[in-house]
Structure 1
Amino acid sequence: MDKVLGRPRDDAAGPALLSAARRLVSERGYQRVSIQNLLDEAGVGRQTLYRRWPSKAELVLDAFLDSAGRIPAVTEGPILEVLTRFLTHLFANLNEDGPALRSLMASAQEDAKFLASFRERFLQPRAKIVKSFLEQAVKRRELNENFDVDTASDMIHGAFWYRMLLGRPLDAAFATKLTTAVLKVTE
């Protein structure tokens, strides 16, 4: 019989830390939440956190990636409908997570390592989804073969991050207006 050294891993600790991170960062903002706050809220020790995540930033990012990963990406239909539907769902998610994401984006500007992780794990995968919708529309000849997918994606993301950072509404009406404008401008 093999002996296991050390304490057994607590499978509830990871979800407890993720939940604590989502709640505290949503309420207070990233900068105002300390590692100790997270540990106290989750009821775990420092070593438990660092066995799972190398930093507070990575823990918090994982907490919000879970939420962002639930946004449906339905590809059937004309590009205007597909992109509008996706943005409508995205905006609903951002209305819930926006304050926390704003604080994460601000913190990423001060921490190059976290910025790289935030870009790679959070921003780029979402941009890839938008680009895939547009590329599929080009392949279906719904959009011109010279349609600038990269610029269209940048315009979409720039517009909603701008509105989110300024606290302006992100809703279905804006999703429709943004999609329509981007598809016209980048033809």
Structure 2
Amino acid sequence: MSSNSTTGTRPRTGNRRDDDARRAVLHAADDLLAEHGFAKLTIEAIARQAGVAKQTIYRWWPSKVEILLDGLIEGAEKYLPVPDGRVEEADVEAYFERFRRFVEELPDGKVFCALLGHAQHDQAAAHQLRSRFLDPRRERERGLIERAGLPRAGAAPAAVDALIDERVGAILWRAMTRAPVR
């Protein structure tokens, strides 16, 4: 398995991108998404707000989905890392509480919800979201659950996935429907 598939990053071609410009584009996309929503987010607006040429964006990202995914992956690694090493049940509970806060309170969580919503109508976006973000994260979450001995040591992989689905599904349902957390 290549390192790109485990980290969720896309392979790059061509010259290295200027890191300041990259960050400006990611921040502009997040800000504009929050301000105008996914449907009104355009490459032109991102370029204008980031202070870069539209051509610069298209050189590195084929679509606004890819820009948002890069920002989401970076934000999740920073604000929602999946714990490594030895863990206990309390660490799993703390992780899912951080996941809830990430989705409900942080800008990157809003990007995640926007991409989930868009993926319902765009098969290519759904594939990118799964392959670059959801699948690699799910693999690390499985390891977290298994290292904590949940649901039971030696349980079938389907039981581990069901536990993750229950926790993540409830959080996402509330976030996507804007239902109050009880």
Q: TM-score range by the shorter chain?
A: 0.7 to 0.9
Q: 1:41 aligns with which of 40, 45, 49?
A: 49
CA distance in 1, matches of 2:155, 2:51: 55
Partner residue in 2 for 1:180: none
Q: CA deviation at 1:76?
A: 3.7
- Relative to structure 1, the CA distance from residue 10 to residue 72 in structure 2 (aligned partners, 3 Å threshold; closer, same or farther) is closer
Over residues 82-110 of structure 1, what are the superposed CA-to-partner deviations in whole Å (9 max), with x where a residue is unaligned?
11111122222212134332222111112
- 2:77 aligns with one of 64, 69, 73: 69
Deviations along 1:110-158, one digit per CA (max 9) or x if unpaired, are: 21111100111122222222211222233xx882423511211222221
Q: Is the 8 A contact 2:145 2:151 kept in 1?
A: no
Deviates more, 1:55-64 or 1:8-17: 8-17
Q: Identity of counterpart residues, as a percentage?
A: 30
Runs of 4+ in 1 over 4 A off after TM superposition: 8-11
Provide TM-score, normalisation by structure 2: 0.77
Equivalent position of 1:154 in the other structure: 165
Count of aligned positions: 161
Within a 5 Å distance, the mapping from 1:1-150 to structure 2 comes to 10-70=18-78, 71-74=80-83, 75-79=85-89, 81-94=90-103, 95-97=105-107, 98-138=109-149, 143-146=152-155, 148-150=159-161
Instruction: Map 1:160-171 to 2 at 5 A.
Output: 160-169=171-180
For residues 59 and 116 of structure 1, the distance between their equivalents in structure 2, rounded to whole angstroms, comes to: 15
TM-score after normalising by structure 1 = 0.76
**d(CA) in 1 for partners of 2:179, 2:172:** 10
RMSD over aligned CA atoms reads 2.3
Structure 1 unaligned blocks of 5 or more = 1-7, 175-187
The runs of 5 or more residues in structure 2 that have no matched partner are: 1-15
Supply the distance in 2 between the matched residues of 1:11 and 1:133 (Cα, whole angstroms).
32
Q: Post-superposition shift, 1:162?
A: 0.8
